[in-house]
Every structure is written in C-alpha cells, then in structure tokens.
Structure 1
Amino acid sequence: MRPHFKFWPRRLPHSITLPATSLWDNLAISAHRYPDKAALVFFGRRLRYRELAEGAERLAAWLAAQGVQRGDRVALCMQNCPQLVLAHFAILRANAVVVPVNPMNRAEELKHYITDPDTRLAITTADLAPELVKASNALPPGERLAHLLVTRFTDAFDADATGPDAPPEAWKPWLHSQLPLPALDGGQTHAWADALACPQPPPALQAGPDDLALLPYTSGTTGLPKGCMHLHKGIMHNTVASNLWSNGAADNVTLAVLPMFHITGIVSMMHTAVYSASTLVIMPRWDRSLAARLLVRYRISHWPNIPTMVIDLLGNPDFRHQDLASLVYIGGGGAAMPQAVAQRLQEHCGLCYTEGYGLTETAAPSHTNPPDHPRQQCLGIPYIGVDARVIDPDTLQEMPVGESGEIIIHGPQVFAGYWKRPEATAAAFIEFEGKRFFRSGDLGRMDEDGYFFMTDRLKRMINASGFKVWPAEVEALMFRHPAIQEACVIAAKDSYRGETVKAIVVLRPTHQDTTGQQIIDWCRENMAVYKAPRIVQLVSALPKSGSGKVMWRTLQEQDAQQTQPLA
C-alpha cells in the first residue's frame, strides 16, 4: 500500500539508478564540466570548481604522504568554511573515511572521536586546534593523534574585505585571529598552506561504491556516541535523490548555513550542490543580518535550514519580504516549524516551508513533503527509494492507518551498521516482510494519504533547536564533576529552542555549598554548549524504581506540570 504516490511529484521516478562511481567522482566531473564556475563563496572570495578539485587532490597527496591509506579514518572538525569542503573531498580522494566532528565539542568529548575510530590524523581550524590538542595529549601515547593539520579562516577570504561581503564586526576577532600552531605530544602539527603545497601526485583512486565513505557519530540512550557506517553508494543515493527533489541545477545558489559537520548539511547541502555543480554561499555560523544580506546579494535560490533560523530572520526589524524574492526552495527538519511562522512565510513571501525527516543513520532524509503538496507540522512522505512503516514496538506488527507506533525505514541510504558495535547494530534492525528495516526509535503515525506525523519518542532524547541531545551522554559527562553524586537530565520547555536541557542534581555531602550556576558554568566548559544544562535543580534525592533505576520519566512529567521551572 503506497497511498502517498498520488501526491508524488509527477516529474520524479519512485526509485533511481545510481552512478557506479565514488563520491569523489562527483566533484571531478563537476570540475571538468564547469571549471570556472563558482563552487564556493566565502565573504566575497570565490573558489572555482577547478580550484576546489585541484586543491583537494593536492591535499589528498599530502594525506597519503602522512601515511593515510585506503579505509583510514580522518577527523574533520570545523565550522563551515571552504577548507571544510576541500578537506572533505580530499579525504575521499585519498580513499579514506571522513569522520565529521561537531566543532562545539570540548576536549573531554573529543577524546572519543580520536580513540573510537582509531583516528591518527585530524584537520581543524586554528581556533579549535587547542581543544583537539588538549584531548589528544591527555590520551595514552598509543592512542594519540600523530598529525594535526590546522587552517585559519583567513586562508579562505580577504581579511580586509569591506562592504556587503565583510563579516559581521563581532566576528572579526574570531575570524582574523592568527593563533600559533599548538604543540602535539608525540605528533606534529602542520600549516594548511604547507599541506596544499605538496608536490607529490595523489594516490590512485581505489574507493568505490561499496567502500566506507563517512563515519558520523550519533548518541543514544546509553553510553558514548556511536559511529554510523555510510558507504559511498548510500550517500550517493541521497545526493542524487536530493538533487532531483530540489530541482538541482548548475545555476542554483544555496545559502550554506546548516553545519556541514551534520548529516543534513553534508548530504542534502554540500554533496548535493557539488553533484549538480551549483554554488554554495557559505556562512560559518548563523547571523540574521548577514543572512538577509547574502540572500539579496547572491540571489539565493535554495535555503535549507532549521526553523529557529527562519523565526529569527522574520523577527529582524530590518527584514523585508522581498529579501526572499529569489528563493524557490526553503525547508528543513530537525524540529517542527511552528504553524504560525509557516503561515506567515506563505502569506507574505509566497513560500511553502518544506519539512522533512531523517536521522544520522538514514543519511539525512528518509521522508520529506512533496513540493506541490506540503503539509505543515508533518514529516512528509517516504523519500525516493524508501519503504517506511509504522509498527507496534513490542509485537513488531504493522499498525493500522492513523494509529501511533514506531517508524521503521528501509532504503538504499540506510547505514550499514554501527562502527565496532555489532550488538547495537543487531538491535537497530528488524526483518519485516523479507526486508531489513532500521528502527528509528521515533513514534509516529501515517494518515490515509501516506503522510507521516511524529507523535512521541521511544528513545529518551531532547530536541533543542534541532540539535539532538541525549541525556545519557550528558549525565556521563556530568558525573565527572567532583560535586555531583547523582544527576538526571530531562527536557524542559523553552519558548525559543522548543526544548532545553535541565539537570536535576544530588550533591555529594562534601560539596553542599556548590550552586546550580557553578554546575552550569562547569558544564559549558566541558561539553558542547548545546548539550550543557541551562537549568540545574538541586534536590536531596532522585526517585528510583524497585531495581534502583532513576525514574527519569517521573521527573519529566513533574517538570511538565510545573508552570515555572526551578533553577
């Protein structure tokens, strides 16, 4: 039963035949066909497709000279910038595997991205290098990084740029900083310019569709983040599908503000743009005034985003509806778009916000709304090549139309499994009607037209402005605080973020003078800021079950009933 096909874009096939090539070939082909076309724009400086491909090949040669071989994992930790795109494709050209790392992570978190994927080489920006070095230096000698390649933002744009292409004044100390290379214990740090000057030829291209290409990490209900193994052909599927779905063309111009360490930014934005040889206008982080300026200056046609960006842009008193006149596509996922905001976009700008749904395990979209028949507050219909169902999470039987159950997903973009986690991989999949389906952990329902809607979460997770926060990971980090005896992390309602992180804490008897604010400050120093609790409630004890487990759901329900959160 595929009722959603009656809303399927008539111009699109239900499934696609994939190129029998690697992801690197997409850049090589675009550079061959459009050598002088702008691939990337960063504060006014344009990097052409020929320059991007040639730079990636030189960097691939340098990686090989440092000992990177086929299948080796290379960590890439950056905010959005041209160097991120170049390095990403250089790693693929070197037959290696990209390990995208959230640049908001702190040293304690970064250790895991060095040790778990057995990373010996990382690429980062100068502002983040000290944190990576701190993480590596704290590890045993046999587990540390051997090489750290460091670039500065000014390697990719003119520091003295003025006028509409200049960065916001508040960003200049960050973007213009000329920090020295930090010392890596037992290893070497290298400057970006030296690596790009590598005179050697790149290694022979060996990676193909069945090779591992990408190892993004996702957290879960227990333990540390797990690496999701994505093959070239899986990422290729959603690259080609996204290109078709969004009317991909070489003349498209995309505002690249979604982070390109995140699966959606990597696949639906970066890889899709390179495949179609379109242009990415890059923002390293969100700023509503800069976004408005770039939308007009570069006549942006496509803007994938998260809803909080749109809310912020529309809240700018200087925003004019004509600023969005060039847009033909605006949409995203990660969090629901408030209906009132979507309505305002429709009424004043003539744009339908296209919501979608996907996970790190599904290489971004597994569902999206058809452009001609979008629905608000809706995950959309199954994507090209996807079979999605709703089942009872206990009996594993399919649920009737309209009834809630767990969303399961089968498709060519679904990951191969979790890195070094065979038990977690086995638990993540079921066989259903003879096919291997991924269990999303999200509860939803399907209506009679085949549209999917989120109803709840089977897994314990907090969604803060589209950033997924896993309480077990935050709790594990908080237990390293000397004053914390017990901690339970729950979601608290937030008018802007939708949800925010709240920690309910029992202090050790020896640290009773510790304040909630001190714990918040410590968390911000030791974990990514979006994970850090914004609210800390100190209590004498946590409710527990008969088996001694903390009853987090009880605390969640109690908090939801309170009109004012405790701080």
Structure 2
Amino acid sequence: MTSTNPGQDGTIERPTGTLVLDRRYAKGGLPAQVHVPDTTLFENLEMSARRYPGKTAVQFYGAAYTYGELLRDAGHMAGYLQQACGVKPGDRVMLFSQNCPQFIAAYFAILRAQAVMVPVNAMLLEEELRHIAADSGAVACFAAQELANQLLPLLGQTPLRHVIVHAYGDALGDDDAGLTVPDWVRVRCSRDSLPDGMVSWPDALAEGRLPAPYTGKQSDLSMLPYTSGTTGAPKACVHDHRTVMTSVAGSQLWRNTNCEAVFLAVAPMFHLLGLQNSLNGPIFVGGTIVLLPRWDARTAAELIERHRVTFWGALPPMLVDFFNQPGIESRDLSSLRVVGGGGAAMPENTSALMRERYGLQYVEGYGLTETAAFLFVNPVHKPKPTCLGVRTYGVEAHVIDPETLQPVPRGEVGEIVVHGGQIMHGYWNNPKANEETFITLDGKRFFRTGDLACEDEEGYFFMRDRLKRMINASGYKVWPAEVETLLYRHPAIQETCVIAARDAHRGETVKAVVVLKAGHEGITADSLVAWGREHMAAYKAPRIVEIVASIPRTATGKLAWRTLQEAESMQ
C-alpha cells in the first residue's frame, strides 16, 4: 500500500452505479447488490408524490400531510427562495429547527431551488451560529420561531440576509387526536412582530410563488452538515446528491423497507441519524413519517401503537428511557420490525429486554457525518451485540496502523479507514483538514475515521478506542478543543482541559478541569457550569467542573489531556 494526500475535488476513483456486498452477508433476504438511482434527493419526493399523492407522508400529532401537499409546499417555498430571497443554484441555505412538518418542506424547498442545505443543531447559540453562517456563506435561513432571535445579530454581519420563520403550532391543525402536545409546540406564528429581514412561513407560503424549472444533477452539492473538529471550530462536510443517495438507497434495501413502512421520527433531523433514517429514507420509499419534535417516551409509545410503526431509528439512551417507562409492558408494540441506531453503547439489560419481551434485536450501525451515516451495519438476520457491524454496499474498509498506515493483522486494533460512494468530497474551505483526513491506498481515496477498532474472522468490526480526542455524550460528538475555546472566553479561566467523565444516562459527559486566574479565587465550579450552559449548546456544556491549582503538561509543554483522561477513567 502507498499513501498520498488527494485534493478536495475527490477525483480519485469513487464507486458508482451498482454496489456489491460481501456474499457472506447476503442472506436472510438481503440482496447482494444495490443499484444507486441516478437521480437527486428532491426527485425522491417528486417521484413519491406522483405515485402516492393522497398518501400520508407526515403525521404530526393529529395532523396528516399528504405527499401531494408536501410537494406543493416545497415548490412554493422554493419559488420564494428564488424570487424573494434571490437564492441561486449552489447558494447555501441554513435550516435551524426541531423536527416538524415545516422542517421537511423547507429541506425539499432548498433542494428544489437547487441550493445547498446547511442543517444547524437547534441547541447552538449565537457565536456557534455566527461561525456556521460565516463559514458556509449562507444567504438565507429557515428558522423555528423560538430560535429566530438568535439570528438577528447575524443579519448584516454575515452573508445571511433573509430568515423565514415557522412555528410548530401552525402545523398542528385543530385536532390533538388525544395526544399530549407540549405547550411550546402549540405556539402559533407571531407574524406581526417579526423584525426586518424576517418573514413568517404562512406569509411566504401564501404568495404561491412557483420556482424555475428544475435542472438539478446528482453531482450538484446537496448539503453541508457541520461536525466539530479537534482544531476547535466545526467543519462542514461536502456532500453532493450522490453521496447522500448512496447511503439512502443502501440503507433502505438493507432494512427491507417499502412504501407501507411507517417510520417513527424522533432523532433530530438536523443530525445525520435523523435526516437519513427519518426523512430521506422514508421519502425515498414512499413511506409515512410519524413525527415528534423532541423526545417524549410516553407519546412515542402511543404513536407506535396508534400508527403501527414498523421502523424506529433511535439512540440507545432513548431506548433505555422508553423501555423503562411505567406501563410500557401494556403497550402493543407488535408492529415494530426493525429498531436500529448507534452512536453510543447499548446497555445489555435493555437489549435483553427487547429480545426477550418483544423479539426485537437492536441493530447497531456505524457511520459519521462525513460518510452520510450509512457505513457499517449489523445484518438484520445476524446481529452481534456491541458491534459496529459489517461493511455495507460498495464499502472498502481496512484496519491500519495509524502511524505507518500499513494493515494490521486481523483481530488486532488499528484505525478504521474507508472508501465508498457515500464518503464526503472533503471539508468545506479547509484544505489543511483534508490533507490530514484523506489518504490514498492502492490508488483509492480513503477517509481516516480516527476510530480504533478490530475486525473479527467474519468481517464484523468492534470499536475499541478513539484516535481522535472526542467525547460521545448520548450520541452527540463533543470535541474538547471546541469546548475549551469557548471556556477561555470566561474572564476568570487561566487554563482548562476538557475530558470525558462517565455518566449513567449519557454514557459519557463533559468535564472541564480548570485553573483560575489570580484574583478570581471566589469563582465556584457551579458558577462555571452555569456560565457554560449560557454560552454553548447544552450537549457541549461541561456538566462537571473541577478547579485545580495546575494542569499536568507533556514534555513539549502541551496540556497532558491524556493523563487527566486516564486518571478520570480510573475513578
């Protein structure tokens, strides 16, 4: 094997067309190949709407939206983007919201306008938003009403100039269907009080604008999802329609879904787990999305029972909460056929309960934002516990020595490197990160995952450690360097080192070890925790702060984070 650093353009050979699977896994009804459609993500909606115009595409509490209605609204909003906001093909448009019907319509409106969708975590605050808006160059944004004010300081100070504001309550209709709807979801749009630069979703939709003819191609950029990095600033992953479609087509074939499948959409759609499993996948096959804006175990059980949900993509902490809720044993969950996910360790007691009481195997998978989520998955007919799974369609993967870049013997631990049609083209505007992340092995472009694993004799991969410095809090990736950068804005902090601490519910949580500046000895750990929650997304903010006199250093003078992490792991 040889190693070089390819450019961002991804010109080194990439898998296309028909992608094959190792025949060892093509059992239990799993085909040995997948034909990736030569169409775009928007055309998935267009095709399903033509086939099933009156079929329910999205169920939101008591309101049902058909495929025909979804296509109509996406078209009108695409027309508004083009004509009122001046959005041109290739322009970036942010989407900043919890799960709701408007999120789905806005997503397809962006794609219909031949623009590039930039999903934004709904927990981010102003400075984090500023970086994404400036780095992506987004000119417009769809935003939920409770989040829109955070965008005000960005108007005129970044390329962002238009914000379309939606309220979850506007999508509810008049019938709650006997379900518990949170008060914050019921709030309707306050269209009369919006500041300059913002327009309400109902007003924009009412204009009934029609978009220009669609000429999108699969090679066009489709999205720039951001993933945090060790350098302290989030990086955008460059995906075109084909990389995302490769993941979508393969994952739906793997799980044997079809137009009669019903998907419980609880995982956030601003995250690739939710976007792929709960939006792109269902629309691709013409299924029905049963939507929850935020996790609610009781309502999730009611929805599964009422709408006969067949597929549920969920993080392990959700399932722990779900199966431990009072009265769950009386619920009819017999419609569930596949429950899958990843991103965190699944407790064995919950996994055993699912198997023994409901006959359900938790089908774990492994993917990253850089790989459009679908990379390794356990075969549904033969999953292995605490396992990342096997290579999916067209994926080549090796376990290599991270220093020499040479393969390690089977069974030994090394870094996972992958090549496949779903791999991003590179990081947006970040050539240095691309040089560090991509290598060439035997003439093919491989992505370095930074994850350490081993491969067993049957080709199943098992996570062992992380080469990258990363905290996995309930499936959310938290990069310590980014949190440290934000913490240094506190006037009392002289030095800080962020590490992972064990957490019974989140798996891991964020801990900050802090040295205070002279004259600030009165600052408490609790006050620093509170400050963190005010200045960064909740999942990133340190839950634990330890104030110390000094932080150990390496021989080169760097903060010895590994020493602190090892000491924490021993507790």
- Would the TM-score normalized by the shorter structure come out above 0.5? yes
Give the alignment of 1:35-434 within 5 angstroms.
Answer: 35-65=53-83, 66-134=85-153, 136=154, 141-158=156-173, 161-167=175-181, 171-176=182-187, 178-179=189-190, 188-320=197-329, 322-434=331-443
Corresponding residue for residue 565 of structure 1: none
Using the alignment, how far apart are the partners of 1:43 and 1:149 within structure 2?
A: 23
2:392 aligned partner, one-letter code: Y
2:101 aligned partner, one-letter code: P
Between 1:19-28 and 1:279-288, the stretch displaced more is 19-28
Using the alignment, how far apart are the partners of 2:413 and 2:118 within structure 1?
A: 35
1:451 aligns with 2:460: yes
1:27 aligns with 2:45: yes
Please state how far the C-alpha of 1:10 moved relative to its aligned partner. 5.5
Show structure 2 runs of 5+ residues with no match.
Answer: 1-19
1:406-457: CA deviation from partner (whole Å, max 9, x where unpaired): 0011100000000001121122111112211100000000000000000000
Between 1:315-324 and 1:67-76, the stretch displaced more is 315-324
1:20-59: CA deviation from partner (whole Å, max 9, x where unpaired): 2211111001000000000000011000000000100000
Using the alignment, how far apart are the partners of 1:531 and 1:179 within structure 2?
A: 31
Between 1:36-45 and 1:125-134, the stretch displaced more is 125-134
1:366-403: CA deviation from partner (whole Å, max 9, x where unpaired): 00000000010000001111111111111111111110
Alpha carbons of structure 1 residues 252 and 125: separation in structure 2 relative to 1, 3 Å: same
- 3-state SS, counterpart of residue 360 of structure 2: coil
Alpha carbons of structure 1 residues 57 and 163: separation in structure 2 relative to 1, 3 Å: closer
Using the alignment, how far apart are the partners of 1:440 and 1:221 within structure 2?
A: 13
Using the alignment, how far apart are the partners of 2:214 and 2:397 within structure 1?
A: 35
1:236-286: CA deviation from partner (whole Å, max 9, x where unpaired): 111111111111211111100011000121122210100111000000010
- 3-state SS, counterpart of residue 496 of structure 1: coil
1:112-165: CA deviation from partner (whole Å, max 9, x where unpaired): 11100011211111111112224x15xxx452521111011112113x544533
Please say if residues 34 and 253 of structure 2, whose CA atoms lie closer than 8 Å, have aligned partners that are also in contact.
Answer: no
Alpha carbons of structure 1 residues 212 and 500: separation in structure 2 relative to 1, 3 Å: same
Please say if residues 331 and 353 of structure 1, whose CA atoms lie closer than 8 Å, have aligned partners that are also in contact.
Answer: yes
Please state how far the C-alpha of 1:99 moved relative to its aligned partner. 0.1
Please say if residues 45 and 156 of structure 1, whose CA atoms lie closer than 8 Å, have aligned partners that are also in contact.
Answer: yes
1:37 aligned partner, one-letter code: K
Using the alignment, how far apart are the partners of 1:29 and 1:261 within structure 2?
A: 24
Alpha carbons of structure 1 residues 9 and 197: separation in structure 2 relative to 1, 3 Å: farther
1:504 aligns with 2:513: yes
**Alignment identity in percent?**
46
2:211 aligned partner, one-letter code: P
Please say if residues 4 and 450 of structure 1, whose CA atoms lie closer than 8 Å, have aligned partners that are also in contact.
Answer: no
Please state how far the C-alpha of 1:7 moved relative to its aligned partner. 2.9
2:112 aligned partner, one-letter code: R
Using the alignment, how far apart are the partners of 1:3 and 1:93 within structure 2?
A: 32
- 3-state SS, counterpart of residue 509 of structure 1: coil
Using the alignment, how far apart are the partners of 2:406 and 2:109 within structure 1?
A: 45
1:539 aligned partner, one-letter code: V
Please state how far the C-alpha of 1:84 moved relative to its aligned partner. 0.4
Please state how far the C-alpha of 1:559 moved relative to its aligned partner. 1.4
Alpha carbons of structure 1 residues 323 and 226: separation in structure 2 relative to 1, 3 Å: same
Please state how far the C-alpha of 1:174 moved relative to its aligned partner. 4.9
Please say if residues 61 and 177 of structure 2, whose CA atoms lie closer than 8 Å, have aligned partners that are also in contact.
Answer: no
Using the alignment, how far apart are the partners of 2:528 and 2:192 within structure 1?
A: 32
Using the alignment, how far apart are the partners of 1:507 and 1:284 within structure 2?
A: 40
2:151 aligned partner, one-letter code: L
Please say if residues 150 and 181 of structure 1, whose CA atoms lie closer than 8 Å, have aligned partners that are also in contact.
Answer: no
1:283-325: CA deviation from partner (whole Å, max 9, x where unpaired): 0010111111111011111111001111101111111265321
Give the alignment of 1:399-548 within 5 angstroms.
Answer: 399-548=408-557
Please state how far the C-alpha of 1:340 moved relative to its aligned partner. 2.1
Please say if residues 164 and 293 of structure 1, whose CA atoms lie closer than 8 Å, have aligned partners that are also in contact.
Answer: no
Alpha carbons of structure 1 residues 58 and 183: separation in structure 2 relative to 1, 3 Å: closer
Counting matched residue pairs gives: 551
Using the alignment, how far apart are the partners of 1:365 and 1:324 within structure 2?
A: 26
Please say if residues 137 and 159 of structure 2, whose CA atoms lie closer than 8 Å, have aligned partners that are also in contact.
Answer: no
- 3-state SS, counterpart of residue 215 of structure 2: coil
Using the alignment, how far apart are the partners of 1:175 and 1:112 within structure 2?
A: 31
Using the alignment, how far apart are the partners of 1:553 and 1:321 within structure 2?
A: 47
1:507-538: CA deviation from partner (whole Å, max 9, x where unpaired): 11132211111111111111110111000000
Show structure 1 runs of 5+ residues with no match.
Answer: 563-567
Please say if residues 130 and 182 of structure 1, whose CA atoms lie closer than 8 Å, have aligned partners that are also in contact.
Answer: no
1:172-227: CA deviation from partner (whole Å, max 9, x where unpaired): 1453265567665xx61001011112333202212211010010001121120000
Using the alignment, how far apart are the partners of 1:559 and 1:200 within structure 2?
A: 58
Q: TM-score, normalised by structure 2?
A: 0.94
Using the alignment, how far apart are the partners of 2:278 and 2:177 within structure 1?
A: 27
Using the alignment, how far apart are the partners of 2:184 and 2:97 within structure 1?
A: 17
Please say if residues 9 and 371 of structure 1, whose CA atoms lie closer than 8 Å, have aligned partners that are also in contact.
Answer: no
Please say if residues 22 and 32 of structure 2, whose CA atoms lie closer than 8 Å, have aligned partners that are also in contact.
Answer: no
Using the alignment, how far apart are the partners of 2:143 and 2:282 within structure 1?
A: 23
Using the alignment, how far apart are the partners of 2:508 and 2:54 within structure 1?
A: 45
